Amino acid sequence: MDRLSAPPRHADVSRAVRAVWERAEPALLARIDVLDDAVAALLEGRLDEAARERAAREAHKLAGSAGTFGFGHASDLARDLERMLAADGPRDHAALLRGCGLLEGIRQEITTPG
């Protein structure tokens, strides 16, 4: 059997996934930074509409990327954060604190090795 028709070995697949992750990780971390800035601005009452919309889009992208790389819980949290950011109207203190918790959960899952 030649190399082209042989099924990929586990080590080959692991290396390929690791290489893709190494290229994608900086973008995921940048999205977390955007969300961190947005949540901080939201807490301080200075999040304008354009920044809120951008943060909701970044949360949406983060949810998809996190899910693709097997971070299912982070993906769910990012979707919750997206919904929170996309919602119009006032946010009470409890909702703002929940946004902080969502972001921290995302950060922990994506940046904790193992």
CA distance 98 to 22: 30
Supply the pLDDT for residue 18. 84
Q: Is the pLDDT at 104 greater than 90, yes or no?
A: yes
Q: Is the pLDDT at 2 greater than 60, yes or no?
A: no
Give the gyration radius of the chain's Cα atoms: 17
Q: Is the pLDDT at 47 greater than 90, yes or no?
A: no
What's the predicted TM-score (pTM) here? 0.83
Supply the pLDDT for residue 9. 82
> Counting beta carbons within 10 angstroms of the beta carbon of residue 7, is it exposed (0 to 12), middle (13 to 18) or buried (19 or more)?
exposed
pLDDT tens profile 49-96: 999 999 999 999 999 999 999 999 999 999 999 998 887 655 677 888
Q: Is the pLDDT at 16 greater than 90, yes or no?
A: no
Kindly report the average pLDDT of the chain as a whole number. Answer: 87
- Rounded-to-10 torsion of CA 89, 53, 38, 47: -50
